[in-house]
C-alpha cells in the first residue's frame, strides 16, 4: 500500500471533472469518497458532513466523530475482500484540504536557529537570549497557504545588496524553501482561556508537510527590527492529505532534556515525533532529516500560542519551523545547505544551486515507518514575470 494503507487513511478534498468537491481519504492509489460511503450506509454519519469543499465541518464535529469515522474506515479498508469503489488518483483533482484560519510559524529547531545565528551574527551567541525559554514564532498569512502542486511565482520586493547604500526593487534573487511540519487545529478554544500544555494535543486534528517559501534577500532587508513580512507571505505550500494525529501518536519518542527548565506553563516530559523527512530538488534528494530534531514540541507551541488568552479556531495552522539536524545533509533549507550561498550544492545533472532558479521543482516527503507516507508537498518556481 506504499504508505497509504489502513493504518494511515489521511483526509483531503478532491473533485472529479464536472462534480462538486468533497471529503475523501487516500487509500492505496485511489481516493475513497466519504459522502458516497455515508450515502451507501457504510459510514454511520450524515453524508452532508462530507459533501463539503473543506474539512472544516468534519473537524468542527469534534474528536468523538473523528475517532468513530476512523474506526469505521479502518474496518472497511482492512478486510481482505473489501470492495470499495475508489476514484483513481489521476481522475481526482486535489484541493486545499481545509480553510486555513490563523497561520503561525515557529522557529523551533535548535540546529536551524543556531545555523541562522552563526551565519548572520558570527560574533555573538548563535541563539537569541529568549530561544531556550519560549518557542519563538510570528503570525503569517493564511490567505496564501496553497495546496501541493500549486506553481510558485517568484516574488518581487525590496532588497539591499551588499555594499549598496540604497535598496532596489525587483524579483527575489535568493528564493528558498523551509522543510516543516504543519499542525492543524480541529478543536477551538475560548478567547481569554489559555490551553494547558498537557491538554494541547486534544485540540489537534492532524499533521501536514509544509514548505515555507522564503525570499532571503527581502527577509534580510525588511526584518529589522520586526519579523518576516513580505519575504514569506507570498506563498506557503501544504500537502493535500492531512494525516490524522491518531495515525502518528505511536511515533512519539522521548527527547533530550530542555535546559534551562522551561517555565511551568511549558513544562512537560520532553518528546518529539520520529518522522523521517526529505527534500528533493529536481528529482535529487538534497536533504534527509527527522522531526525528532525539533526542540519545542507541538504541545508546547500550542500552549505558548494561547498563554496570553489568544483563541484557537477550527482550521488554524501552525508550522514547526524549519527542521534541521546536526549534520550538513540534515539541513532543511537552501540557506543552510549552501551556507548562505558560500557552498553551492552539486546536483546530479552537473549543475549547482545556492538558491532556487526558475523552473526548479521542490518536493518534500515524510514517512512514519513503512506504514505511513505523509502527503508530499510539490512546488515549481515560475518566473517573476
With contacts defined by CB under 5 A, name the span among 61-69, 100-108, 245-253, 347-355 that binds Ca ion: 100-108
Grid cell at residue 97: 484540504
With CB atoms as reference, the residue minimizing the distance to Ca ion is: 212
Pick out residues in 150-189 that bind Ca ion (CB under 5 A). Answer: 178
Other beta carbons within 10 angstroms of residue 161's beta carbon come to: 11
Minimum distance from residue 212 beta carbon to Ca ion (Å): 4
Other beta carbons within 10 angstroms of residue 10's beta carbon come to: 25
Interior angle at CA 85, CA 79 and CA 91, nearest 5: 130
Minimum distance from residue 285 beta carbon to Ca ion (Å): 21
Contacting residues for 122 by C-beta, under 8 A, at least 6 apart: none
Considering the complex, state which of residue 105 and residue 278 has its C-beta at the smaller distance from Ca ion.
105
With contacts defined by CB under 5 A, name the span among 210-218, 243-251, 338-346, 371-379 that binds Ca ion: 210-218
Q: How far apart are CA 251 and CA 39, in angstroms?
A: 34
Minimum distance from residue 178 beta carbon to Ca ion (Å): 4
Out of 8, 112, 203, 304, the active site residue is 112
Considering the complex, state which of residue 298 and residue 372 has its C-beta at the smaller distance from Ca ion.
298
Q: How far apart are CA 55 and CA 38, in angstroms?
A: 15
Among 99, 176, 212, 222, binds Ca ion (CB under 5 A): 212
Pairing label, strands 317-319, 103-106 = parallel
Minimum distance from residue 298 beta carbon to Ca ion (Å): 15
293 is catalytic: no
With contacts defined by CB under 5 A, name the span among 92-100, 101-109, 233-241, 352-360 that binds Ca ion: 101-109
Q: How far apart are CA 364 and CA 121, in angstroms?
A: 29
Considering the complex, state which of residue 92 and residue 136 has its C-beta at the smaller distance from Ca ion.
136
Considering the complex, state which of residue 69 and residue 145 has its C-beta at the smaller distance from Ca ion.
145
Minimum distance from residue 88 beta carbon to Ca ion (Å): 35
Contacting residues for 332 by C-beta, under 8 A, at least 6 apart: 109, 112, 178, 179, 180, 277, 279, 287, 289, 322, 323, 324
Q: How many residues does the chain have?
A: 385
Minimum distance from residue 111 beta carbon to Ca ion (Å): 14
Q: How far apart are CA 156 and CA 163, in angstroms?
A: 21
Pick out residues in 130-149 that bind Ca ion (CB under 5 A). Answer: none
Among 105, 222, 316, 336, binds Ca ion (CB under 5 A): 105
Q: How far apart are CA 186 and CA 203, in angstroms?
A: 6
Cα-Cα-Cα-Cα torsion 112, 115, 116, 121, nearest 10 degrees, comes to 150
Considering the complex, state which of residue 105 and residue 217 has its C-beta at the smaller distance from Ca ion.
105
| Residue 7 binds Ca ion, judged by CB under 5 A | no
Q: How far apart are CA 292 and CA 272, in angstroms?
A: 5
Q: How far apart are CA 330 and CA 294, in angstroms?
A: 12
Considering the complex, state which of residue 22 and residue 216 has its C-beta at the smaller distance from Ca ion.
216
Which positions lie near Ca ion, rule CB under 5 A? 105, 178, 212
> Residues with catalytic annotation?
112
Amino acid at each position: 500500500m506504499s504508505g497509504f494503507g489502513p493504518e494511515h487513511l489521511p483526509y483531503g478534498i478532491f473533485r472529479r471533472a464536472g462534480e462538486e468537491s468533497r471529503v475523501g481519504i487516500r487509500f492505496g492509489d485511489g481516493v475513497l469518497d466519504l459522502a458516497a460511503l455515508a450515502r451507501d450506509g457504510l459510514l454511520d454519519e450524515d453524508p452532508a458532513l462530507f459533501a463539503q469543499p473543506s474539512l472544516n465541518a468534519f473537524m468542527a464535529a469534534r474528536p468523538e466523530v473523528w475517532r468513530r469515522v476512523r474506526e469505521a474506515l479502518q474496518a472497511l479498508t482492512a478486510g481482505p475482500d473489501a470492495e470499495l469503489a475508489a476514484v483513481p488518483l489521476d481522475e481526482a483533482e486535489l484541493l486545499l484540504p481545509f480553510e486555513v484560519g490563523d497561520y503561525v510559524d515557529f522557529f523551533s529547531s535548535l540546529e536551524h536557529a543556531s545555523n541562522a545565528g552563526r551565519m548572520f551574527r558570527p560574533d555573538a551567541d548563535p541563539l537569541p537570549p529568549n530561544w531556550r525559554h519560549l518557542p519563538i514564532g510570528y503570525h503569517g498569512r493564511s490567505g496564501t497557504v496553497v495546496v501541493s502542486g500549486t506553481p510558485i511565482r517568484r516574488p518581487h520586493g525590496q532588497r539591499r545588496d551588499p555594499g549598496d547604500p540604497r535598496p532596489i526593487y525587483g524579483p527575489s534573487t535568493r528564493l528558498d524553501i523551509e522543510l516543516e511540519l504543519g499542525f492543524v487545529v480541529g478543536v477551538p478554544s475560548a478567547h481569554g482561556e489559555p490551553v494547558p500544555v498537557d491538554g494541547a494535543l486534544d485540540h489537534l486534528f492532524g499533521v501536514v508537510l509544509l514548505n515555507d517559501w522564503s525570499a532571503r534577500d527581502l527577509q534580510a532587508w525588511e526584518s529589522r527590527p520586526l519579523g518576516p513580512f513580505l519575504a514569506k507571505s507570498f506563498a506557503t505550500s501544504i500537502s493535500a492529505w492531512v494525516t490524522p494525529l491518531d495515525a502518528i501518536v505511536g511515533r512519539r519518542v522521548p527527547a533530550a532534556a530542555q535546559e534551562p527548565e522551561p517555565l511551568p506553563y511549558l513544562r512537560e516530559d520532553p518528546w518529539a515525533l520520529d518522522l523521517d523527512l526529505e527534500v528533493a530538488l529536481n528529482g535529487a534528494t538534497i536533504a534527509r532529516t527527522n522531526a525528532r530534531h525539533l526542540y519545542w514540541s507541538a504541545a508546547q507551541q500550542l500552549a505558548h500560542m494561547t498563554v496570553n488568552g489568544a483563541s484557537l479556531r477550527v482550521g488554524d495552522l501552525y508550522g514547526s519551523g524549519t527542521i534541521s539536524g546536526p549534520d550538513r545533509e540534515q539541513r532543511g533549507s537552501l540557506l543552510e545547505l549552501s551556507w548562505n550561498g558560500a557552498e553551492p550544492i552539486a546536483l546530479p545533472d552537473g549543475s549547482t544551486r545556492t538558491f532556487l532558479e526558475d523552473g526548479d521543482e521542490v518536493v518534500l516527503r515524510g514517512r512514519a515507518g513503512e506504514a505511513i507516507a505523509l502527503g508530499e508537498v510539490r512546488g515549481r518556481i515560475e518566473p517573476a514575470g
